[in-house]
Chain A
Amino acid sequence: MKKARQDIDSILEKYPRHAHHLISLLQDVQEAYGYISPEHLTLVCDHVGAPLTQAWAIISFYKSFSLEPRGEHEIKVCLGTTCHLKGGDRLARMCERDLEVKRGQTTRDQRFSLDTVKCVGACALAPVVMVDDGYLGKANIHSLKERLKKL
């Protein structure tokens, strides 16, 4: 999952200095670094001329932002309606037990981040778990455990 870290200045320079671009800019920082650090948050706000409170409001409102570094591997258990009907929640509970973290958290060794997502759109394969960028379709506890062991 780790991408080459882009220089923060080169991300900032892509956008004109206007508060309209606050969300887009934060999205780029999130994508490049996997989270938004307090230092970057200040730099972004200075660049577009928006108050820190506005940026905080945005980060806490929209779900794609994280204020903490993410783990090396991201596990996203789909809990869309179809996955819910087909037992997605069991898989999420199993991950919580096995990784000893709650949904939305990262393991202490920074190896795994566990999340639940609302529909990845692969409903035909429900229940689905995304492990990093790969799909694990028609997942069950056994196949998910096997998949996690390989990481």
Chain B
Amino acid sequence: MGKIKDVQELEAWRDRLLAAWNPEQPVVRVCSGPGCLAQGADQVAKAFKAAAKKGKFKVAPLIKETGCHGLCSKGTLVNLAPADIFYVRVQPQDVPEIVETSLVKNGVVERLLYRENGKRCRSAADIPFYRLQEKVVLKNVGDIDPLSFEDALAAGAYRSMARALTRMTPDEVIETVRLSGLRGRGGGGFPTGYKWRLAADQTRQNPGPLYIIANGEEGDPGAFMDRAIMEGDPHTVIEGMIIGAYAMGSHQGFLYVRHEYPIALHHLTIAIKQARRHGLLGRNILGTGFSFDLEIHRGAGAYVCGEETAIIASLEGRVGVPVTRPPYPAEHGLWGRPTIINNVETWANVPHIIDKGAEWYAGLGVSHSTGTKIFSLVGKVNNTGLVEVPMGTTLGRLVEEIGGGVPGQARFKAVQTGGPSGGIIPYEFKDISTGDRKLSRGELTSPDMVLETSGFPVEFESFVQAGSILGGGGMIVMDDKDCVVDLARYFLNFLGEESCGKCLPCRLGLKGMLEFLDNFAQGRGDPEDIEVLQSLAQAVMDGSLCGLGRSAPNSVLTSIRYFREEYLAHIQEHRCPAGVCRDLITYRIDQEICDGCGLCLEVCPQNCIAGRKKKPYSIDSKACTRCGSCQDVCPMDAVIVV
């Protein structure tokens, strides 16, 4: 089918697809998110496709390679419908058995089911990881084939857009988004409806083009929320942007996507082509007279380009260095025109709000943080992966119930939230809510400030009070074997490298801070250095222009605030309690556990391990450089830190 002329034609096409759907046809959904692909999902899908051609079925099964199912730690994940069976850790060699047992017959391959406390869970809904989630934005991710336009259409794509374009005025759309309480999902938490209103008013006063941008430069390590949306359901991002464009009167939009996300780039490129071919992008969309088009820009590899003025510079073909605000991009953005930049997840929320209404959306979450939020749960947690929960869910629930707790330990030590700019929140804050937040220092210089003084109710925070930010949604769980000094040092190093260098306090201040931490990690320094470090951190925060510098010291400051004794152990006792900092530890081989396999000896670059096969080995600690190679390879975990 070519161009869709009007809404009736769109709905007729959708009706035809739904009518043609055979509820009895088995559907095999193979997760093809990067987590599963790294575990061989492509081979699993290939095996299913080959089997589907050969087997004796009543109705031949449909094999779909979908976006991320979320439970990355148990990949490759395979979901069978309509039987509703959820298989984990599927390998290509398991496929014939699955086909025979569950597709030809009605059985279940017990050994491939997820197990919770020894109990086998047949369907995804039986698993706490899924049961406790509430999927709104991720509803279709993992369900549809992201490369199939018809699949997206059957799942409801572009229905909200058609409704907005034909039955709502632009002001009604903005009002709906405002009433829903949607706030920016990139970390800023700025109310989206207000931002859109600002932009619409700007263009009224100052006629000419208005640009909209989707920020898909998801640079935080350990965060992949936006990627999952772009890969698994690209049309929802496009639809959200068209609705926003209509509301604000924009005719050109840009998707700014990290170049490290080749699958997302590929899926979005295809989706845009499909939307154009069917007249959902371009001139006179669905015969409504409204025109809008989208262009993809690949990020070129700069963390600071997640900052909105840096994105604009990058889109203009320049070095991505942030500039002073005001003027805000909403007034003076891309090529000097009003520009609205929303995070990918924010855009993806919009179609759902238009579809089900502002009231429904506002009913999700907590009073001032409505809706759901996607988090990526990684680090020392059993169920690593992607989760979507209502705002206001507590940290403890996320890590312990959904995440299934820490492997081999009773409780987590801390959770690092908000990416490198966030902070380290200790276990004691496990009842902290993920929705309840106020604007941080960095955010106060954004247009939020205007709203705050004009009476916008900013609710009392928890994350910000705890010294962190909710940020984009990365949650890195730490256990007792993770050192906070080391992690703070890691983040400083990261941000120091990523600093664009424009502001001196950020460029040199972060380096100076790192020197302190380097010393601590080597057991040097003075307890008073902690105070000096804190005051230097304050100077960096006060003297930097953009969010990067202004929030860079967060992890250092929170780790000092909650784990001062760990800093003192490094400085005064020359000891790293977690056993991480290389200069403060000694490796030893536990003579009871070592079975004498000799792997350690093979990998030791110093040749400082002695012993004979089948007998316990030992390390000469004087020659040892503590590279950790032996510990890394030991199959018995006999190499211990003393």
Contact = CB atoms under 8 A, between A and B. Distances in A.
Contact of A125 (B39, B315, B491): B39
B603 A93 contact: no
Contact of A135 (B37, B319, B320, B482): B37
Interface string A82-97: 1011010011011001
Nearest to A83: B221
Interface in B614-642: 627-629, 632-633
A23 interface: yes
Interface string A60-82: 01111100000000000001111
Interface string A28-48: 000000000000000000001
Contacts of B494: 118
B224 interface: yes
Contacts of B476: 81-82, 85
B259 A87 contact: no
B603 A145 contact: yes
Given A118-B494, A137-B39, A123 B75 contact: no
A121 B380 contact: no
Contacts of B378: 81-82, 123-124, 126
Interface in A93-113: 93-94, 97
B317 A20 contact: yes
B222 A142 contact: no
A62 B102 CA distance: 50
> Secondary structure of the A side of the interface?
helix
A6 interface: no
Interface string B252-296: 000000011100000000000000000000000000000000000
B538 to A, nearest CB: 24
A109 B313 CA distance: 39
B432 interface: no
B603 A142 contact: yes
A135 B302 contact: no
Contact of A61 (B75, B223, B297, B302): B302
Interface residues of A, number: 47
Interface in B492-520: 494, 500
A12 interface: no
A26 B318 CA distance: 12
Given A23-B317, A63-B302, A85 B259 contact: no
A64 B482 contact: no
A85 B379 contact: yes
A84 B35 contact: no
Interface in B209-227: 219-224, 227
A124 B603 contact: no
Nearest to B481: A85
Contact of A93 (B35, B599, B627): B627
Given A23-B297, A121-B34, 5 more contacts: A61-B302, A85-B380, A85-B482, A123-B379, A141-B603
26 contacts: A21-B317, A50-B317, A58-B300, A61-B302, A61-B319, A62-B301, A62-B319, A81-B416, A81-B474, A82-B221, A82-B378, A82-B476, A84-B487, A85-B482, A87-B628, A97-B605, A120-B34, A121-B227, A121-B260, A122-B38, A122-B72, A123-B222, A123-B384, A125-B72, A135-B38, A141-B603
Interface of B: 34-35, 37-39, 72-73, 75, 219-224, 227, 259-261, 297-298, 300-303, 314-320, 376, 378-380, 384-385, 416, 420, 474, 476, 478, 482, 487, 490-491, 494, 500, 599, 603, 605, 627-629, 632-633
State the 8 A-B residue pairs at the shortest beta-carbon distance, nearest first.
Answer: A80-B221, A124-B72, A62-B300, A63-B301, A119-B221, A135-B38, A64-B301, A123-B378
Interface of A: 19-24, 26-27, 48, 50, 54, 57-58, 61-65, 79-82, 84-85, 87, 90-91, 93-94, 97, 117-126, 128, 135, 137, 140-142, 145
